[in-house]
Amino acid sequence: MENQVHSIWAQLSGLLPVLLGYVSQFVLALIVLFVGWKVVNAVMRAMSRMMTASHIEPTLRGFLLSVVGLFLKALLLISVASMVGIATTSFVAVLGAAGLAVGMALQGSLANFAGGVLILLFRPFKVGDSITAGGSSGTVTSIEMFRTVLLDTNHEIIYVPNGTLSNNIVINSSESDRLLGSVSLLIDYNDDLDKARALLLGLTEQDPLVLKDPAASVSFLPKPANIQVTLGFWCAPGDVSSLVAKYSEDSIKVLQREGYRLGVTARPAA
């Protein structure tokens, strides 16, 4: 019995250095992972500052930072795996074998990555442009590896997959040097249309933000119970929202001051 105890103790004593070696490797790998992750983040911040100082376009800068960051973190994980005894060649082989399955599962993500590359190559828009696509509208704040970030007029952040942007119609308002803004109201059939036209056009005549060529215009559209009057004006893309808000209020005030019945529902008998 005593011999068996000595034998078991001898086996455990032999395993102890091996276990301590594995534990030390594992702890060291965790330290390397923690420190390495911090270093990668520091490198990414330094790259971002360098790109900004070099005046690299924000559109390209955000995409490159996403790609480089993913690449460096993948290298770090492979290095940590080799430290805990996983052979690098075996690790890469496993990744390669799993690549097909992962690729099938992540078809959408791969399409979004390819979409990001196409956006950078063909440049349908860039950071700072105002676009409408996939049912969303806003100003482009960044183009990342898999998605584009928009900021809408309500200051809500919208994430649009790059695959959606590369495979659908994109309206880039910033590409044009001018846009048409419009404001519509309803007036009575008995109201003076010529006077309404003159009053509304008078709002735009002294406004330096409204283009003179093409000139502003006023149109009328008969409705079952009233007439829709629309003031149309041309301006720079960045001024459309503010001018529409301004003329929506000013047109109501000027017409009401002249006695127009806005939004009436009773059409006079013939």
Domains in the chain, number: 3
Whether 24 is in a domain gets the answer: yes
- Whole-model pTM: value is 0.56
Q: Which residues pair with 150 in a beta bridge?
A: 140, 158
Q: 249 lies in which domain range?
A: 179-257
Whether 270 is in a domain gets the answer: no
Q: Is 16 helix (H, G, I), strand (E, B) or coil?
A: helix
247 shares a domain with 197: yes
User: What pLDDT, in 10s, does the model give residues 127-179?
Assistant: 889 899 878 889 999 888 888 999 988 899 999 999 888 888 999 988 888 99
Q: What is the average pLDDT score of the chain?
A: 81
Residue 149 sits in a domain whose CATH number is 2.30.30.60
Mean pLDDT computed over 94-117: 65
- In the predicted model, is pLDDT for residue 268 greater than 50? no
19 shares a domain with 96: yes
d(CA 7, CA 12): 9
Q: How confident is the model at residue 59 (pLDDT cuts 50, 70, 90)?
A: low
142 shares a domain with 61: no
C-beta of residue 211 within 8 angstroms of C-beta of residue 243: no
219 shares a domain with 239: yes
Q: How confident is the model at residue 1 (pLDDT cuts 50, 70, 90)?
A: low
Tokens of 170: 């994109």
126 shares a domain with 101: no
User: What pLDDT, in 10s, does the model give residues 90-102?
Assistant: 656 666 655 555 5
Phi, psi of 133 (to 5 degrees): -165, 145
